[in-house]
Structure 1
Amino acid sequence: MQTTQIAPSNLGVTHPLDMLTPQEISAARQLLVEAGLVGATTRFPRLLPVEPTRELLAGYVDGDDDYDRSVLVTLLDTATGEAAEAVVSVTRGEVADYRVLPNGEHPYGQPQYLFEEYERAQQIAKADPRWQAAMRRRGITDTTHTYLSPLAPGFFPYEGETGRRMIRSLTFHRNFEGDNAWAHPVEGLICHIDLTAGTVTRVEDDYAETEPVPVPLQTRHYTPEHVGPARTSLKPLEITQPEGPSFKVEGTHVEWENWKLRVGFNAQDGLVLNQVSFRDGDEDRLVLHRASVPEMVVPYGDISNTRFWISYFDAGEYLLGKNANSLKLGCDCLGVIKYFDAFVADDDGRPVKIPNAVCMHEEDYGILWKHTEFGEAPQVRRSRRLVLSYFATIGNYDYGFFWYFYLDGSIQMEAKATGIVYTGATFPGQPNRHAPEIAPGVIAPVHQHIFCARLDVAIDGDANSVQEQNVRGIPMGPDNPHGNAFTWNRTPLTRELEAVRDANPETGRSWFVINPNRKNYVGEPTGYQLIPMPGPRLMAQEGSSAWKRAQFATHHFWATRYDPAERFPAGDYPNQHAGGGIGEWVQANRSLENEDIVLWHSFGPTHIPRTEDWPVMPVDYSGFWFKPHGFLDENPAMDLPDWSSYQGVPGTDVDDAGCCRH
């Protein structure tokens, strides 16, 4: 067995679950260069940490410095379109594994897009005489500032495209530098681009023979210089913590009240939460090995030639984490803020810092519990939550991912969708059942945002089981003589195919993860309850391309046996892939009784755009709860202080980045 050649600490690593460091990213690239696997046309579409094994984590002792750190690297030769995947051990100093990806064979699939390909696609399209002629037909001759949106093409086996690295571009005009291009969609004009060949394979113009839909030219902006003076009616609202925050941070390890966890981040999942535990008396009880939102799909419901093919996978095609915002200059969080920086690899495989990629702070959350007994003073305790969040911008949309930890042992995940709706053009006043008019001549197609959370659960350890709960009424009769009775049923979901389930608000359906080997105060298995906030499932019909590729979105709930290779529910490379992922995994029908289990929960808004969404969209919220249910023997927030007697003096808080000053 090879011994460690480089200690993790020499690469800036202090724990097996630390985020990738710039030293590790640089080392991985250098090892690939030395192995002869990087040439002048080699690019790095994706670079991710290899997750430490369960065995390594179970045996790890603070201060150990002899474990492996490896990186999973996707390589793309932009000259040939050939792709490969390598596992590089940066501590052993070797390329541990290398395989060529069969992206020219069914079911195909392409590596994630490079940032450089966005501008390149635009240059290729603008140079095409067919595109230029289509713009002239619409009366636009100056295309200096015109923007072509680079869009993943989905999977449609067009001749000459299948197995090729393709991208489609829709056109949005700009009247001047800095103009809001989404206000000026060029309807019916599509460029199909072969990125490897550097050519436009097809230009489709739905109005080549007829009068084109006019390009809306009304200027619509949302920045202060265009909106005008800000209102003065809102008075300042200050968030102060005179004695500082209640959390403690050492590296990426966080302690807050009874919670402990490790903050992670990578280019695809974005924010990752590791080793989440809740302190019960003298015991830190494990709840989650790992939690993240590793995929989302945005399928469109428009049948027009311009948009029927759109179904973006914002993590698997574009990389959510790589597109994360730096929160340093904005006031995305209020209060006393702790920021975590992150490092990702750029297109050339070199480290890039995302300053303040993750924000952590505390928030007051109203009343946690209260009771007033007749003749006695009321007892009130306020709720508070720890917030960990990040934002990613993918094209026209911005997505916020917020994890909330509460004093009563509950966890909430909230996704926030905002930004600018994707637009098209129409003859003003023309009805369209798939795309409402949101401004004169501007339409926004119906679409969905379906996120998929991955919860690698560990309720008091790895031996867990899954149950479904439904409430039900009891027919009047001997079991319900007065008609008022109702009850609940818990149904074991013993195998993976049994655990492909959908929410049902009529029965209050929820799902439980229990540890059958540990009992609570009343003799029941300890457990946590996943409570959905359900919306429509994937609206694309079974058999469609979107349905095959986004199978995770066809049901609200899945449970699988833990497999370290099953990290992304649409598969590792959904870009131009015929379909796969979790729908195939569950066909193994593995046992879910007393096993190491992963829950997958699909959720998110179905968006019928409105005029109020223009020109920038207010936040649309979605998410779920993960609550202790029989995990604890009593309310764990009984000992909270009564703040009504607090005599603290209000202070002034300034976060360490100089943001959100009060």
Structure 2
Amino acid sequence: MTSPSIAAALSTITAAEIAANRAILEREGIASPTVQYSYVGLQEPDKRELLASGVADRRIRSMLVDMATNVSRDVVVSIAEDRVVSDRVLDHAVDGQVPVVVDEFIVVAEIKKNAEWQAAMVKRGLTDFDKLVINPLSAGVLSDAESGRRIQRCFTFVMDSPDDLGWAHPVDGVTVMFDVVTKEVLEVVDYVELPVPLESGNFHLESWRGPDRQGLKPIEITQPEGPSFTIDENGTLSWLGWNLQVGFDQREGLVFHNVTIDDKGVARPVIYRASIAEMMVPYGDPSPQRWFQNFFDCGEYLLGGYANSLELGCDCVGDITYLDAVVAGNDGAAKIIPQAICIHEEDAGILWKHFDNWNGSSESRRNRRLVVSFFVTVGNYDYGFYWYFGLDGTIEFEVKATGVVFTSAYPGEGYKFASELAPGLGAPYHQHLFSARLDMMVDGLDNAVDELEAVLVPRGPENPTGTGFTQTVTRLRTEQDAQRLASTETGRVWLVSNPGVKNRLGRDVGWVLYPEGRPTLLADAESDIYQRATFCTKHLWVTPYEPSELYPAGDFVNMHPGGAGLPAWTAANRSVDTTDIVLWHTFGLTHFPRVEDWPIMPVDTCGFVLKPHGFFGANPAMDIPASTSDHCAPGGAADHDHGGHGGHEHHGHGH
């Protein structure tokens, strides 16, 4: 288990630290009344120094923007030393801008005073401007005329009433470039006039949905003796051999440190730090209105700050432990998001089972998993981030994507870049691409990565029948070697091993990353978004650990020209063979919206799996006891008379 001092050094930022950070910045004249706090978070210490000494200074990093002057700063404060450690003013043309602040969503309402925008609306028969909503969107790459400015590119939607779902009524063909600092409309692009879709999509209103489906009977999940996990004041979570420290960051959301698993009484390290470091949603409609539409929900919008407060029975079911999230508001003061993190156990089906025809034995064990999750709403989409830890050592991550698809007017039958969801209502094709940052620590700091693939052995002396196949092992030795795509044809996976530690068979211990292997970024290599989101073009990147390398598209992706992050770091082609390494895994969804995705999208999922590979001496779940619930009937129960309802015998538990 992690020492208390290391856990304290890595624990989530507190409200008191956020308050102290603001006091120091105001005292030093860095934070004036017009300065907005875009991001406030813990600047983690160098892993190597922390593990060696066991202690570290608590430092807070702030990204600031003066909304009167557009001066942006990257500042680090030492709380213990009560001082500013570093203060850098950004060069926007090179560095990009700090993430979006809430005021930018509000100030764009000034667009309604602009005569050119008004004329575009009147031309479409939209004269009641009170029913029109301005939707600000991150600007992407700026033109020469916009360079250095802080821009939102804005669309317009109609809300017929305060309860109306505005996404049902896009005013397509009009984009407004708005400077949120000077509050100027720089340009109104009115390139095509399309009818505003009229059909409502008010799924949230009972009058719209109609009567509920009948016959749905309750499912109750109870744990009469409580959950099997404990959690302490530093967020260290212990569950059936797993130990991990749960943290939360305004940018990344859930962050885990020091993930270890018990092996015969020894806590063996697996991952030092795990998070979703970026997610990017590129849209595939190249029209003049929406060519720029690519959203970095971590780097531009700080998705952790948009975490939902979860509700028992609705968002989480069972014996739930909730944790609040502490983030900073744009005023630099602490903001508490109650019940932002949900921790619980859930049944996960069969763990292992066998009925032996030779000796007549029959054994089975049920699986369960520890679930740590949170949900965010970023604009129209809602995302659930679920981390699962299994009894057999499996670590799984799953995104649940739902909410409302981004809509457009549908130009007509055969349009190549969007689906029609309702009469005249379109939804542009798009992707949801995520980057998991996995700072591996498999039995220590010196790890290596091998690519494993299934291959057919050519017919010959070794394979005379032509039925032989094997697995190839290829060591990824440098950063350039380790930029890889998945291959479902060969079952390509990546084994993270520790060459310095052997299992009982004399082989390197390891863990395997199993990718889903779905499409990477669908954009031309010369396009703006390819340059800004190069991390999305490979399923795997491997880098040597460097404490400043945190985000795959760089620190400041908002209006960044591109090239930052992984492509810049890996240009040095550093060694990643038997050293302290970080895996960056890209995964996600490519979404061609269906009619069934409207008016609210049923959950779609994506993710990845990590499993031990030669890490243990045998199946690590052999010590799981047999289930004792009275719902586990003895053999032959299926033959009992169930009164015509085969398989639904009730055992008197009665909730």
TM-score range, shorter chain: over 0.9
- Residue 228 of structure 1 is aligned with which of 190, 210, 216? 210
Alignment partner, residue 373 of structure 1 = 356
| CA drift at 1:305 | 1.2
Alignment partner, residue 419 of structure 2 = 436
Q: Which AA in structure 1 matches 2:302? A: L
| Change beyond 3 A, Cα 1:436–1:515 | same
- Residue 622 of structure 2 is aligned with which of 617, 628, 638? 638
What is the CA–CA distance in structure 1 between the aligned matches of 2:361 and 2:472, rounded to whole Å?
40
Q: What CA deviation, in whole Å up to 9, does each residue of 1:245-276 have, x standing for no partner?
A: 10111121100001000001010010001110
What is the CA–CA distance in structure 2 between the aligned matches of 1:480 and 1:397, rounded to whole Å?
52
- Residue 231 of structure 2 is aligned with which of 249, 265, 277? 249
Alignment partner, residue 606 of structure 2 = 622
- Residue 140 of structure 2 is aligned with which of 130, 140, 154? 154
| CA drift at 1:651 | 7.8
What is the CA–CA distance in structure 2 between the aligned matches of 1:418 and 1:300, rounded to whole Å?
17
Equivalent runs, 1:418-567 vs 2, <5 Å: 418-426=402-410, 429-567=412-550
What is the CA–CA distance in structure 2 between the aligned matches of 1:576 and 1:193, rounded to whole Å?
14
| CA drift at 1:650 | 8.6
Alignment partner, residue 128 of structure 1 = 114
| CA drift at 1:528 | 0.4
Q: What CA deviation, in whole Å up to 9, does each residue of 1:387-433 have, x standing for no partner?
A: 00111111001111110000001100111111111111135x53211
Alignment partner, residue 655 of structure 1 = none
- Residue 102 of structure 1 is aligned with which of 82, 85, 91? 91
Q: Which AA in structure 1 matches 2:197? A: P
- Residue 606 of structure 1 is aligned with which of 579, 590, 594? 590
| CA drift at 1:619 | 0.9
What is the CA–CA distance in structure 1 between the aligned matches of 2:7 and 2:35, rounded to whole Å?
31
Alignment partner, residue 3 of structure 1 = none
Q: How high is the TM-score relative to the length of structure 2?
A: 0.94
Whether the aligned pair in 2 keeps the contact of 1:276 and 1:287 (CA below 8 Å) is: yes
What is the CA–CA distance in structure 1 between the aligned matches of 2:160 and 2:29, rounded to whole Å?
47
What is the CA–CA distance in structure 2 between the aligned matches of 1:294 and 1:356, rounded to whole Å?
22
Q: Which AA in structure 2 matches 1:425? A: A
| CA drift at 1:57 | 3.5
RMSD of aligned residue pairs (Cα, Å): 1.8
535-544 vs 232-241, greater mean Cα deviation: 232-241
What is the CA–CA distance in structure 2 between the aligned matches of 1:204 and 1:262, rounded to whole Å?
49
Alignment partner, residue 657 of structure 1 = none
- Residue 45 of structure 1 aligns to a residue whose secondary structure is strand
| CA drift at 1:377 | 3.7
What is the CA–CA distance in structure 1 between the aligned matches of 2:480 and 2:361, rounded to whole Å?
54
What is the CA–CA distance in structure 2 between the aligned matches of 1:188 and 1:206, rounded to whole Å?
6
| CA drift at 1:646 | 5.5
Q: Which AA in structure 1 matches 2:60? A: V
1:41 partnered with 2:34: yes
Q: What CA deviation, in whole Å up to 9, does each residue of 1:264-318 have, x standing for no partner?
A: 1010010001110000002100000000001011111112111111111010000
Alignment partner, residue 20 of structure 1 = 13
Whether the aligned pair in 2 keeps the contact of 1:241 and 1:650 (CA below 8 Å) is: no
Q: What CA deviation, in whole Å up to 9, does each residue of 1:356-378 have, x standing for no partner?
A: 11111001010010010125241
Q: What CA deviation, in whole Å up to 9, does each residue of 1:116-163 have, x standing for no partner?
A: 110111x1211211111111111111121321111011114x232012
Alignment partner, residue 216 of structure 1 = 197
Whether the aligned pair in 2 keeps the contact of 1:529 and 1:626 (CA below 8 Å) is: yes
- Residue 428 of structure 2 aligns to a residue whose secondary structure is coil
- Residue 21 of structure 2 aligns to a residue whose secondary structure is helix
- Residue 405 of structure 1 aligns to a residue whose secondary structure is strand
| CA drift at 1:206 | 1.4
139-148 vs 355-364, greater mean Cα deviation: 139-148
Alignment partner, residue 285 of structure 2 = 302
Whether the aligned pair in 2 keeps the contact of 1:240 and 1:651 (CA below 8 Å) is: no
What is the CA–CA distance in structure 1 between the aligned matches of 2:157 and 2:312, rounded to whole Å?
29
Whether the aligned pair in 1 keeps the contact of 2:72 and 2:89 (CA below 8 Å) is: yes
The runs of 5 or more residues in structure 1 that have no matched partner are: 1-7, 653-661
1:112 partnered with 2:90: no
What is the CA–CA distance in structure 2 between the aligned matches of 1:640 and 1:178, rounded to whole Å?
52
- Residue 555 of structure 2 is aligned with which of 572, 582, 591? 572
Q: Percent identity?
A: 46
Alignment partner, residue 393 of structure 1 = 377
Alignment partner, residue 284 of structure 1 = 267
Q: Which AA in structure 1 matches 2:152? A: I
327-336 vs 480-489, greater mean Cα deviation: 327-336
Q: Which AA in structure 1 matches 2:344? A: H
Flag as ranges the 4+ runs of structure 1 deviating above 4 A.
Answer: 644-652
| CA drift at 1:52 | 2.8
What is the CA–CA distance in structure 2 between the aligned matches of 1:249 and 1:235, rounded to whole Å?
34
- Residue 481 of structure 1 aligns to a residue whose secondary structure is coil
Q: What CA deviation, in whole Å up to 9, does each residue of 1:484-529 have, x standing for no partner?
A: 1000111111111100000001111000111000000110000000
Whether the aligned pair in 1 keeps the contact of 2:304 and 2:376 (CA below 8 Å) is: yes
| CA drift at 1:108 | 4.0
Q: Which AA in structure 2 matches 1:204? A: V
What is the CA–CA distance in structure 2 between the aligned matches of 1:22 and 1:30, rounded to whole Å?
12
Alignment partner, residue 51 of structure 2 = 58
Whether the aligned pair in 2 keeps the contact of 1:143 and 1:173 (CA below 8 Å) is: no
- Residue 526 of structure 1 aligns to a residue whose secondary structure is strand
Q: What CA deviation, in whole Å up to 9, does each residue of 1:543-597 have, x standing for no partner?
A: 1001000011000000000011110000011111111210111111111122110
What is the CA–CA distance in structure 2 between the aligned matches of 1:498 and 1:190, rounded to whole Å?
42
Q: Which AA in structure 1 matches 2:536? A: A
Q: Which AA in structure 2 matches 1:128? A: N
- Residue 298 of structure 1 aligns to a residue whose secondary structure is strand
Q: Which AA in structure 1 matches 2:35? A: T
Q: Which AA in structure 2 matches 1:191? A: V
What is the CA–CA distance in structure 2 between the aligned matches of 1:21 and 1:222, rounded to whole Å?
38
Whether the aligned pair in 2 keeps the contact of 1:299 and 1:449 (CA below 8 Å) is: yes
1:203 partnered with 2:188: yes
What is the CA–CA distance in structure 1 between the aligned matches of 2:49 and 2:191, rounded to whole Å?
58
| Change beyond 3 A, Cα 1:260–1:14 | closer
Q: What CA deviation, in whole Å up to 9, does each residue of 1:161-218 have, x standing for no partner?
A: 01211110111110011210000000101110011111110011113xxxx2111121
Whether the aligned pair in 2 keeps the contact of 1:240 and 1:650 (CA below 8 Å) is: no
Whether the aligned pair in 1 keeps the contact of 2:47 and 2:547 (CA below 8 Å) is: no
| CA drift at 1:67 | 4.2
What is the CA–CA distance in structure 1 between the aligned matches of 2:653 and 2:20, rounded to whole Å?
46
What is the CA–CA distance in structure 2 between the aligned matches of 1:182 and 1:220, rounded to whole Å?
8
Q: How many residues align?
A: 630
What is the CA–CA distance in structure 2 between the aligned matches of 1:646 and 1:284, rounded to whole Å?
34
1:80 partnered with 2:103: no
Q: Which AA in structure 1 matches 2:209? A: V
| Change beyond 3 A, Cα 1:404–1:161 | same
Alignment partner, residue 590 of structure 1 = 574
Whether the aligned pair in 2 keeps the contact of 1:423 and 1:444 (CA below 8 Å) is: yes
